[in-house]
Amino acid sequence: MKELAEIGVFGGSGFYSLLENVREVKVDTPYGPPSDAVFLATVAGRKIAFLPRHGRKHTIPPHMVNYRANVWAMRSLGCECIISPCAAGSLQVHVEPGHFVVCDQFVDRTSGRKDTFYDGPIVTHVSPAETYDPILRQLAVETIRDHGITCHDKGTVVVIQGPRFSTKAESKWFHEAGWEVINMTQYPEAYLCRELGMGVVNISLITDYDSGVHAGTDAVNAHDVLEVFNSNAEKIKAVVLDLIGRLPADLSTVSSVASLAYTRGDGHAETPEDIRLFRILE
């Protein structure tokens, strides 16, 4: 199939509503339907695919998102890298609401999510040690700071199941572990991108201080999250559109395809006759 996109963005309708000549395409996947149609556009001369992870009217809660279908859809359209902005809470007092964090690590506290493409017959173990691409992260940090936004250039995001927020005990636990950010969607989304060889970068938009674990702050609620997120909406749109124009012309420099060659775990040498999953969509 002709490649329809090279860069994917998981986000809301606000991104593609800013653009002209947007095409809407429906993508079928082996894992069922994605969260919505995919919206194709051109930004800074690059072919872009936008997909709202919660659906265009935000009707899919985080624990019900079909992450495998969303990621497969992006890769099947030709995307080699993914920009993944999200709303998030802060677990550390110096990471304030309104700040952006470009995360470099995640901790998975979800349960029951379909979180791998590799169900056999070739046993495959993909390392998530460096899920977030360092080149994409550096470009994101530079772009955010150029827009005058306070940006933390690294941070660990702990991903909870949702849709509930943390208890105070849980929030205290995460805080004392030294993690900076809490969110409900980065896992398995970012890891699945790596499984299909796509580079991925996360930009966390800090909306609150989680469950009021910090002295003098209130426990998070959905109204307050939405209020701060909306105040940041125009900022993240501008950052993402600017970041697209700064991405390398050769996106193979930020893909993770090469690392997948060493993931076969069934004790046999890989041969040219093996049909590996990550090669199907190339």
8-12, 82-86, 90-94: segment of lowest average pLDDT: 8-12
Give me the number of domains the chain comprises.
1
pLDDT value of residue 122: 85
Q: Are 182 and 166 in contact (CB under 8 A)?
A: yes
Examine the residue annotation and report whether 208 is marked as an active-site residue of this protein.
yes
Domain housing 154: 7-269
282 in a domain, yes or no?
A: no
Helix 186-195 to helix 67-76 angle (10° resolution) is 40
pLDDT value of residue 230: 63
1 in a domain, yes or no?
A: no
70 in a domain, yes or no?
A: yes
What separation in angstroms does the CA of 43 have from each of 5, 224, 230, 244? 11, 32, 23, 7
Catalytic residue among 133, 153, 210, 224: 210
Q: Provide mean pLDDT across the span 177-198.
A: 97
What is the DSSP track for 94-131?
TS-TT-EE---EEEEE--S----S--SSS-B----TT-
pLDDT value of residue 102: 98
CA 188 – CA 71 distance, rounded (Å): 10
DSSP state, residue 84: E
Examine the residue annotation and report whether 119 is marked as an active-site residue of this protein.
no
pTM, two decimals, is 0.92
CA 106 – CA 27 distance, rounded (Å): 29
279 in a domain, yes or no?
A: no
Check pLDDT > 80 for residue 281: no
Check pLDDT > 80 for residue 172: yes
Cα diameter, the chain: 62
Q: Where does the pLDDT of residue 218 fall: very low under 50, low under 70, confident under 90, or very high at 90 and above?
A: low
59-63, 115-119, 236-240, 277-281: segment of lowest average pLDDT: 277-281
275 SS3 class: coil
Check pLDDT > 80 for residue 197: yes
281 in a domain, yes or no?
A: no
**Structure-block tokens of residue 44:** 């800074």
Catalytic residue among 36, 104, 133, 208: 208
CA 92 – CA 169 distance, rounded (Å): 15
CATH value at residue 261? 3.40.50.1580
145 in a domain, yes or no?
A: yes
46 in a domain, yes or no?
A: yes
The rounded radius of gyration (Å) of the Cα atoms in the chain is 18
206 in a domain, yes or no?
A: yes
